Structure 1
């Protein structure tokens, strides 16, 4: 059985995707090999019309906590698919499958594997979207330094990111799996959005599972790395008024770089968000309920392994 997860064409590691290797090989030791006739689809927004083409040799497709999104449509679900659980209710609705399959994102299982402690080093930390980290990491680091925030790079090693989140009192996150893991580790989080590359649908899908409303706080976009609209259904809210308002201001047009005044404004915005926003955190009862539900589906998967092989 082959573990499938999204790998960027530029070879850059991304926290949410890299969690697959770290998590499943601990929870399912000895299960995975290079046999592509069965594909295990785990953490990520992986369910779309291109998935069958990305696992062309798979005669069986196993879905475990993945979400629908990106590209332009959903795949045809047939008898070769076995869905154990999905990220949330929106994914179940898109696929036309029972709501009972909507559990939550599998990344919350880190709470069973990562040992937390009560030592907090950072009052606030910021974790950008992978695209924004790839092209603007130095600037984001500078902004965070200016306002005394820790900067968590989604390209860093898994254990390093887990420790950084655990040592933070409140996480401001563009990276959804940063927020998911923060919730799992009982770290309050605030969703931040600085471009239309942040896919509203997948955030709403996950938030539906933890019974929290997705209410992102917007930060001014900057440079060519922040196009107002991304391709496919990535741009589920399209060029909303948040982006239109910024684009209509000549002094903040997309210049392919960021000025000192822009950087200071963004720093001010992040600080204001941190100080004036009540952070999110699912209830202890809810997160434990979801964790147990995922473990039950995992046990079912293990029981089915003989059949799957």
Structure 2
């Protein structure tokens, strides 16, 4: 079967984690046979998959990025990310486990010395537009770039005492590795539904903090919900205004990061995490039996 995951225009830790973690959970399991698709980490439950392919679902979620998929006998659900996914797809709530990335707790947890008091993980889209390296430097917060290789991001998360994160899989992995985290409300509203979905599976009372973006583009998107394509205008006055704002905003974003570092961090209960890991491992056992190779 083929391991399917979302590939964006830039590398992304949450999606790329599939290629590193899933072969550890399912050794010698995957090939390029796209007649059977394996859907694990990510909001990949949508109708874009080939109808004739069997879709094997292991901890995936619905993200509201598209319409909900029309389910038939070519979908085989072992577990899903959270209760909102189950509700949206009309599935039995007993299928709710957690995001499959939670299994880093069993397969990729290392003893890493703490080097950073606070680290910040922006969403990869925020890094395309905003000067977060400068904002983090000004705030004395270590930047973790989700476009870095998976192993590097994992090591950096474990080397942090507290992770501040706009990236959902920054929170998921930090929580699974027992690193306290502070949730940042995503600047793009389209990314917010999936946070609540995953948090619901772990009984987390999710209350993300709004903060200030490091670029005019993300400020516009967060306030209006619309794209900021007008900022690419070649009009000189527009470019001068955008440039002046982008020069100033990292200083404001840095103040926001310092404020976030003072907030009480979050960590799911040991009981909730253990239950999620157990449900994921039970589902993995069933998949290995059903698709024994």
Q: 1:25 aligns with which of 5, 23, 35?
A: 23
Q: 1:109 aligns with which of 84, 96, 103?
A: 103
Quote the Cα distance in structure 1 between the aligned partners of 2:31 and 2:258: 46
Q: 2:165 aligns with which of 145, 169, 173?
A: 173
2:202 corresponds in structure 1 to 210
Cα 1:256–1:89 change in 2 (3 A) is farther
Query: Alpha-carbon deviation of 1:226?
Result: 4.9
Worse overlay, 257-266 or 90-99: 257-266
Structure 1: runs of 5 or more not aligned: 240-253
Quote the Cα distance in structure 2 between the aligned partners of 1:256 and 1:224: 11
Cα 1:66–1:33 change in 2 (3 A) is same
Cα 1:15–1:58 change in 2 (3 A) is farther
Name the SS of the counterpart of 1:40 in structure 2.
Answer: strand
Quote the Cα distance in structure 1 between the aligned partners of 2:269 and 2:255: 30
Cα 1:142–1:64 change in 2 (3 A) is same
Name the SS of the counterpart of 1:84 in structure 2.
Answer: strand
Name the SS of the counterpart of 2:217 in structure 1.
Answer: coil
Q: 1:94 aligns with which of 82, 88, 95?
A: 88
Q: 2:268 aligns with which of 277, 282, 286?
A: 282
Q: Please state if 1:162 is matched with 2:154.
A: yes
Query: Is the 8 Å Cα contact of residues 109 and 177 (structure 2) preserved in structure 1?
Result: no
Query: Is the 8 Å Cα contact of residues 45 and 61 (structure 2) preserved in structure 1?
Result: yes
Query: Alpha-carbon deviation of 1:225?
Result: 4.7
Deviations 1:137-171 (A, max 9, x none): xx211111112111000000111100100011111
1:39 corresponds in structure 2 to 37
Quote the Cα distance in structure 1 between the aligned partners of 2:144 and 2:85: 28
- Which TM-score applies when normalising by structure 2? 0.89
1:294 corresponds in structure 2 to 280
2:249 corresponds in structure 1 to 262
Quote the Cα distance in structure 2 between the aligned partners of 1:33 and 1:257: 50
Query: Alpha-carbon deviation of 1:224?
Result: 2.4
- Larger relative contact order (Cα-Cα within 8 Å, sequence gap ≥ 6): 2
Deviations 1:148-204 (A, max 9, x none): 111000000111100100011111101100100000000011111351246221000
Cα 1:194–1:109 change in 2 (3 A) is closer
Query: Is the 8 Å Cα contact of residues 42 and 106 (structure 1) preserved in structure 2?
Result: yes
Worse overlay, 23-32 or 255-264: 255-264
Instruction: Give 1:1-12 correspondences, 5 Å limit.
Output: 1-8=1-8, 10=9, 12=10
